[in-house]
Chain A
Amino acid sequence: MKHGKYPLIITFLVPPLLLYGIFVISPYLQAFQISTTDWLGYSSSANFVGLENFATLLRDEYLWNAVKNNLILLILLPILTIALGLFFATMLNMGGRRGTAGVVGVRGSSVYRLVYFFPQVLSVVIIAYVWKEVYNPNNGLLNGALRALGLPTPTWLGDPRTAFWAVLAVMVWSNVGFYVVLFGAAMQSIPRDIYEAALLDGSSRWTTLTRVTIPLLWDTVQVAWIYLAIAALDGFILVQQMTDGGPNHSSDVIGLRMYNTAFGSETKFGYASAIGVVMFFLTLSVAVLALRAARRERIEY
């Protein structure tokens, strides 16, 4: 294999490296450099201002408001999604146990698995508009039902008290199906005899779930946690298309702050990049923390 190894390595590696270097690595690196300037975009005058942007950022109450929302997402999105995902996956993969040995899913589980995954194949933009119409206060699906039941009809996305939670619900809605399938696939790979043994020992359904299934799924849950945490720090497209951060900044997120700072009415590229840099480290530390927190002795089977 030694002979003629390098021609192949070079031809195979240089084109992807070039593409990746130009369009991915260099923008990330430039973001750091731009974040220390007062660059206003299209003009070429950019003065070095050191860490001034970061100092401004600390006093920016709109940004802090957005950070607060992202932190709420960071806590609630993974918890709700993983809990629902685990519940449905358990039902679909072993809910059909009828006192006899063997672990089977409930009837019709393949239909559920098909349907639950729908949001995953749709574009976030489609999801945003579908739900924007569902939440429409006058002719939306939701208020139509509430009105028929004689219940009060909130304005959902138009009310600062409910807008953020309405968006959070859509985030959970669009993610659960994916984790049902993911956890389901992981459950299927757990050997059957473990469950038969648990059943013979008289383990109840709940004990089996908490003492057998979840510990064996821990690796997958950990991966899910990291992905959902990263998704929670984003949430940009959904918020932008559904509420544009409003009303009254109640549903703002960091990504949207950054986008509007850079591509909004004033093109403060330096300041926007500073927000980007903070996000970069926030994402990095969340990922590392999630890995640390979820670390446990790995169970081999």
Chain B
Amino acid sequence: MTTVDTSSPVGSAAPAASATDPRRKGDRAPRRELGLLNAFSHAFLVLWALLTTLPLLWVVIGSFKSDAEILSDPWGLPGALRFENWARAWTEARIGQYFFNSAVVVAGSLTLTMLLGAAAAYVFARFEFRGRQFLYYLFVGGMMFPVFLALVPLFFVVRDVGLFNTWTGLILVYAAYSLPFTVFFLTAFFRTLPTSVAEAGLIDGCGPFRLFFQVMLPMARPGLISVGIFNFLSQWNQFILPQVLMQGDESKWVLAQGLAALAISQGYQGDFSGLFAGLTLAMLPVLAVYVVFQRQIQAGLTAGHLK
């Protein structure tokens, strides 16, 4: 975090308007006022930064504390780095197992989402056929409604096709609910790609399927990455769908369910350090990946919302 100092001349624009500038003197009074305003609003920026980081940092610090330390002084620092809390959460609360489960489910669902989404979007963007408009809006309309409206019947649909309490069921359902945004985003993206390359491919005797996989998909890479990041995060963080569709078998739960169970058992046993360690283990990898790929992730998540 940088300082709140606004009057310092180290900034980018100030040195350019050097002392030789004749207007400088007259500028002074309004400038000081501006400086005050700046310091004031800058304080808000710092405040919000603290507000976002402190709770998260507090949980990470808490994961090293003993239960006694957590109970006696919420603002205190841990007496030692108790990694045994992490170990306990990882094995006893099975966070490690649930991490693996989430990874398996998301690997499957993300692949399926991208494959089906790109295929449908390509067709919508590049071909004219009867019912195209209708089918497109049928897909895209799904973006508007929260998942939980369909929850009750979905439960029975999944049970009736024999996929209740299975990863396959979760993978298919995740992919199905990710399709609206994926199709919406990628259709717009495929439309922006130049048609000339595709035409050249066709003239050179490239078949329509090869054209898609070897020419169009590579060209659409930036769009695929953006929407892939978006889907990865929303599927990784999914909670409502597994809560309903993966109710029984504890060993197959995903990470969010494991955390929920940990929070409930913490309520009974008072194992605060265990909960803090579990939250830390779930949160740090995601934040680490985010810090490294900040640009791509921010662009990926906001891309669909900009015109």
Q: Which residues of A contact B (CB under 8 A)?
A: 1, 4-9, 11-13, 15-17, 19-20, 22-28, 30-31, 34, 84, 87-88, 91-92, 95-100, 102, 104, 106-108, 111-126, 129-134, 138-141, 143-145, 148, 173, 176-178, 181-182, 185-186, 205, 219-220, 223-224, 227, 230, 233-234, 236-237, 241, 255, 258-259, 262-263, 269, 272-273, 276, 279-280, 283-284, 287
Asked whether any CB of chain A lies closer than 8 Å to the CB of B200, the reply is no
Residues of chain A with a CB closer than 8 A to B12's CB: 96, 104
Is the pair A100, B54 in contact by a Cβ cutoff of 8 Å? no
CA–CA, A182 to B299, complex, Å? 9
Most buried by A among B71, B74, B259, B307: B74
With A140-B74, A234-B148 already in contact, the answer to whether A129 and B279 are too (CB < 8 A) is: yes
Are A141 and B58 in contact (CB-based, < 8 A)?
A: yes
| Contact for A182 among B153, B294, B302, CB less than 8 A | B302
Cβ–Cβ contact B149 & A126, under 8 A: no
Report the interface size for chain B: residues with CB under 8 A from the other chain. Answer: 106
Is B162 an interface position by the 8 A CB rule? no
B259 lies within 8 A of A182 (CB): no
B268 contacts the other chain (CB 8 A): no
Residue of A11, A20, A230 near B176 (CB, 8 A) is A20
Query: For the complex, what is the distance from the CA of A134 to the CA of B44, rounded to whole Å?
Result: 21
Q: Is the interface of A mostly helix, strand, loop or mixed?
A: helix
A262 to B240, CA, bound (A): 14
Q: Is the CB of B148 within 8 A of A255?
A: yes
B219 interface hit (Cβ, 8 Å): no
Looking at B77-85, B86-94, B220-228, B285-293, the stretch in contact with chain A turns out to be B285-293
Q: Are B144 and A27 in contact (CB under 8 A)?
A: no
Task: Tell me how far the C-beta of B118 lies from the nearest C-beta in chain A, rounded to whole angstroms.
Answer: 9
Residue of B55, B75, B152, B158 with highest tally of chain A CB at under 10 A: B152
B106 interfacial contact with A, CB 8 Å: no
Minimum CB–CB distance for B224 against chain A, Å: 15
Check: B104 CB closer than 8 A to any chain A CB: no
Contacts of A25 in B (CB 8 A): 138, 142
Other-chain residue from A13, A22, A139, A178 in contact with B123 (beta carbon distance below 8 A): A13
A177 with B52, Cβ < 8 A, contacts A8-B212, A19-B172, A273-B152 known: yes
| A4 contact set on B, CB distance < 8 A | 207-208
Closest A residue, CB atoms, query B21: A100
Q: What are 26 A-to-B residue pairs whose CB atoms are below 8 Å? A: A9-B129, A12-B119, A17-B120, A19-B179, A28-B149, A91-B44, A95-B38, A95-B42, A96-B11, A117-B294, A118-B53, A118-B290, A121-B287, A124-B237, A126-B283, A130-B59, A141-B74, A181-B302, A182-B305, A223-B307, A233-B146, A273-B152, A273-B153, A276-B148, A283-B145, A287-B144
Which B residues lie at the A interface, using CB under 8 A?
A: 1-3, 6, 11-14, 16-17, 27, 30-31, 34, 37-38, 41-42, 44-45, 48-49, 51-56, 58-59, 62, 70-75, 116-117, 119-120, 122-123, 127, 129, 135, 138-139, 142, 144-146, 148-154, 156-158, 161, 172-173, 175-177, 179-180, 183, 202, 207-209, 212, 233, 236-237, 239-240, 244, 255-256, 259-260, 263, 272, 275-276, 279, 282-283, 286-287, 290-291, 294, 297-299, 301-302, 305-307
Task: Please state if B176 and A283 are interface contacts (CB–CB under 8 Å).
Answer: no
Known: A115-B49, A182-B306, A220-B307. A24 touches B75 (CB 8 A): no
Interface of B is mostly: helix
Contact B148 A259 (CB under 8 A): yes
Residue in chain A with minimal CB distance to B241: A23
Given A88-B48, A95-B42, A134 contacting B119 (CB threshold 8 A): no
CA distance A237 to B138 in the complex (A): 27
Known contacts A24-B180, A125-B260, A227-B305, then 11 further A-B pairs from the complex at CB < 8 Å, ordered by chain A residue: A8-B123, A11-B209, A25-B138, A100-B17, A106-B42, A107-B6, A126-B279, A139-B72, A181-B302, A236-B240, A283-B145
